[in-house]
Amino acid sequence: MKNKKLVRSLVFAVLVFALLLTLCDLFEYNNDHSSQRLQTYQDLDRNSVDALILGTSGMDRFWIGAKAYEEHGMTVYPITVEAMPSWVTIPMLKEATKRQNPKVVVVDLRSFVGDYPSNSTKFDIHSRRAIDILDFFSLTRFEAIANTHKTIRLAEVEDAPVIDLSYFLTFIRYHGMWEEDGFSFDELKNPKSKYMGFYMHPTWTVSPMVDYTPTVDTDERIPLEPLCQYWLDEFLSYTEKQDYEVMFMQTPSTRTRNEAGRLNTLKDYLTEKGYECLVLDIDENIYDLETDFYNDGHVNYYGAEKFTEWFAKYLKENYELPDRRGDEKCEDWEGVYDVIKDQVKVYEESLAK
């Protein structure tokens, strides 16, 4: 009798745990641009993407992949998360290369030059933006969680627990979605990006910048945050064993003294190790601060058009990316640039009213 009760208890516990995992998989906060961008990417045909852009919002606002495809035939896709922290760059790259075999990976320097979040709230937000878009049962997600906990310990983040089960069991974090009038089953849908990863927003896409902070020009070499340096070295150690080439880039933006000084240090460090490292300034011959940016660090659509035109030619000349137009594997790219331009017109008309 006791054995039967024990078996029943174990079966019940397994069923409850399975139900909890199912709820965690369903109830994640993943209906944002980053999750839609990754979902679209994961659904592309295998080996149809020849270059990846890995990084923060400083990439998906700048790069119009559909334009580069339409005009040059290249397939270059951004895998980005707002303020992507350095400790998740490796698992995000592993996720991105599961189905694709890129010739080159362009890495955003912004992930390695910032200040680490000083409190658990900011740290939690930065981490979950990346963790929550990864497939719930994927090894890359578990690696991102492990890296997050390691960083919590190393950084001694204020008020952060050593082990946070809500990273594993997301229902703990997002159970509030069950509240009355607080949840719709539409939120469980994970729609695909209609713009091949390019960020579109009803206001920011067509708005000019009102005020900006002038860039501080400096020759100083300001040290990186120790943990940024740590995760950069871990990233380099991982990528040097891969077949693709890696280059680093900072997109045009206005910069503070700390940002400029750290970028100087980072560029020296990477160049010495043999990596291509582009730190792009706001070239007034290309960009107009009054029309091409919507804030200090991001271009609007008009600035993205200019950046994409320049960087597509750069990639073509330096990495000899093939022309994929007409390739059956790349049919998903066809016509997307027209969709983007049509949507921009809608935004412009709405803003003009």
What pTM was computed for the model? 0.89
**pLDDT at position 20, please?**
59
User: pLDDT digits over 12-66, tens only?
Assistant: 666 655 565 565 555 565 547 898 999 999 999 999 999 999 999 999 999 999 9
For 225-259, the pLDDT digits (tens) are 999 999 999 999 999 999 999 999 999 988 889 99
Confidence of residue 163 (pLDDT cuts 50, 70, 90): confident
Instruction: Identify the pLDDT of residue 159.
Output: 73
d(CA 293, CA 232): 29
> Which residue stretches of 156-256 are H helix?
171-174, 226-239
DSSP 326: T
pLDDT in tens, 313-353: 999 999 999 999 999 999 999 999 999 999 999 999 998 87
Nearest to 48 by CA among 91, 99, 9, 3: 99
Sole residue written with tokens 């698992």:
91
Nearest-angstrom CA–CA distance, 36 and 42: 10
- Residue 185: the pLDDT is 46
- pLDDT at position 180 over 60: no
* Between 177 and 128, residue with greater pLDDT: 128
Query: Widest CA span of the chain, in angstroms?
Result: 84
d(CA 266, CA 260): 10
Range 180-209 average pLDDT: 75
Is the model's pLDDT at 182 over the cut of 60?
A: no
Percentage of the chain modeled with pLDDT above 90: 62
Q: Parallel, antiparallel, or unpaired: how do β-strands 51-55 and 104-108 relate?
A: parallel
Q: With cut-offs at 50, 70 and 90, classify the pLDDT of residue 178.
A: very low
- The pLDDT, as a whole number, for residue 181 is 46
Residue 172 has pLDDT above 80, yes or no: no
Supply the pLDDT for residue 301.
98
Q: What is the pLDDT of residue 244?
A: 97
- Tell me which of 3.30.1360.70, 3.40.50.1110, 3.40.50.410, 3.40.50.10420 is the CATH number of domain 49-165+196-352: 3.40.50.1110
In angstroms, the CA 274 to CA 268 distance is: 10
The pairs formed by 313-320 with CB atoms below 8 angstroms and a separation of 24 or more are 313/72, 315/51, 315/68, 315/74, 315/76, 315/104, 316/72, 316/74, 318/276, 319/51, 319/103, 319/104, 319/245
Q: What is the mean pLDDT of residues 263-283?
A: 95
